[in-house]
Structure formats: structure tokens, C-alpha cells
Amino acid sequence: MRNFFNSDSRLMKVLAKLFDIGYLSILFILFCIPIVTIGAALTALYYTTVKVIRHDRGYVFHEFWHAFKLNFFPATKLWIVQAVLFILIAFNISLVNENVTTTSSFMLGAYIVIGVIIYAVSCYAYPVLSRFNMKNMQILRMSLFMIAKHIIFTIPLVIISGAAVFLIVFLIPYLPVVPILVPGLASLAYSYPMEIVLKKYMVQAKKNDDEDGEAVDEWYLE
């Protein structure tokens, strides 16, 4: 019985992981409240999930805050562009629905396809930003390339993220506990296909040390 509750037991390790996932989820929800910070929060959520939850490097708050600060401006720009595009598409869809014709049906389909593409781009953009040092246009081009190149991974990424958004937005009034676990659990599930894609673009350093001769912890390649 003592071994059952030992800090090194499997049960306690699972409970510790669940605590970290819940803590990360709460941080994500809190940092999303200003709305404009959602992009930076998404970037920090993915970074922390992979580094802390999956690879046991560092601590949840420290790594989340580090990624949030580091990527705040580029992630915020990406999020604002994404939000504006979605608002425009939603507005155009509402106009099309007011006057249903053959042409409007075609336009409706076109707007939906464009919206799905924009959403798919965002599914890659924030994880790419968390891993690579790139300008926003490079991130967008790389994300568009990944959508087509890795379509077999794009589909589950869209499904996982879409399901998470649905659960958080629509089930909060009925199940308040949902936001405590969903972002972290969804990000964890999301990271498995995403890491397969990202590792295809990671170049492992020939030397395992930096310019100062210190060892480099390439946790993202494990």
C-alpha cells in the first residue's frame, strides 16, 4: 500500500501529469481572456505541452510564460489577421444566406472552403511559431505547404482542435469542469501528429553544444 502512494509509483506519476495538464489548461484559459492574446496563448500552450507534459523539461508556468513573452508580438499579429479574416468570411456568408440563388450557393461553398483553409493554416502556424524562428509570412507559407504536403496529418489536427473549441465554447454552461482539462488534453493529443510533421523539418545540430561550448538540450528531437 505504501508503494502504491509512493511519489515514484505509476499512480502518482499519472496524477502529477493530470495536475500539470489541468494547471496548463487554466493558464491557457486565463491568458485567453483579453481575446487579443489568444494567439500567444495557443503558441505557449503547444510549447509547454511538448516540453513539459511530454518531455518532462522545466515547469508549467515557467515554460508557458517564457513562450508567451517570446512569441507575443508575432503570435498576436497572426491571431489578429486570422480573426479579421474569419469575421469577413462570416459577414459574407450571412449576406449570401439572405439571397439564396445558384450563384450564392456557389459563393457559400467557396467561403466555407476558404474558411477551412484559413483554420487549417492556423492549426500549423502556432506550433511552427513555437518551434522555429521565422517571420510571419514565412510561417504562413510553411503552414500552407504543410497542409497539402501532410494532408494525412492535417485532417486529425483540424478534427482535434475543432472538437476542443466546440467542447470549451458550448459545454462550459453545462460542464464547468471542461475548460480545466480540455485545452491541455487536446493539446497533448494534438502534439502527437504535429510532432511527426515538425520533426521532418528539424535539423539536428552536428555538435551538441552551442557557441559557448555548453550542452544543447534538444528535447524536441526526442
Looking at residue 34, what is its pLDDT?
94
Q: Which residue carries 520533426 as its cell?
A: 199
Give the pLDDT confidence of 144-162 residue by residue, as tens digits. 999 999 999 999 999 999 9
CA distance 131 to 57: 15
At residue 209, the 3 state secondary structure works out as: strand
What's the CA gap between 219 and 207, in Å, rounded?
15
pLDDT on residue 120: 95
Whether the Cβ atoms of residue 126 and residue 146 lie closer than 8 Å to each other:
no
The pLDDT score that the predictor gives to residue 5 is 53
Q: How confident is the model at residue 170 (pLDDT cuts 50, 70, 90)?
A: confident
Give the pLDDT mean for 130-138.
93
The arithmetic mean of pLDDT across residues 167-187, rounded, is 83
Q: Are 208 and 216 in contact (CB under 8 A)?
A: yes
Cα–Cα dist 94/186, whole Å:
31
Please compute the mean of the pLDDT values over residues 17-30 and round it to a whole number. 94
Question: Rounded mean pLDDT of 39-52?
Answer: 97
Computed from CA positions of residues 26, 29, 33, 34, in that sequence, does the dihedral angle turn out positive or negative?
Answer: positive
pLDDT at 213: 45
SS3 label, residue 215: strand
pLDDT at 8 over 80: no
> Which has the higher per-residue pLDDT, 173 or 199?
199
Residue 120 and residue 149: Cα distance in Å, rounded?
13
What does pLDDT average to over the chain? 87
**What is the pLDDT, as a whole number, of residue 96?**
78
88-130 pLDDT, tens digit each: 998 888 887 777 666 667 888 888 899 999 999 999 999 999 9
Contact 84, 106 (CB under 8 A): no
- Residues 12, 201: Cα–Cα separation, whole Å: 36
Please report where in the chains the cell 507575443 appears, as a residue: 72
pLDDT at position 205, please?
Answer: 42
What pTM did the predictor assign? 0.88
Q: How many beta carbons lie within 10 A of that of residue 207, not counting itself?
A: 8
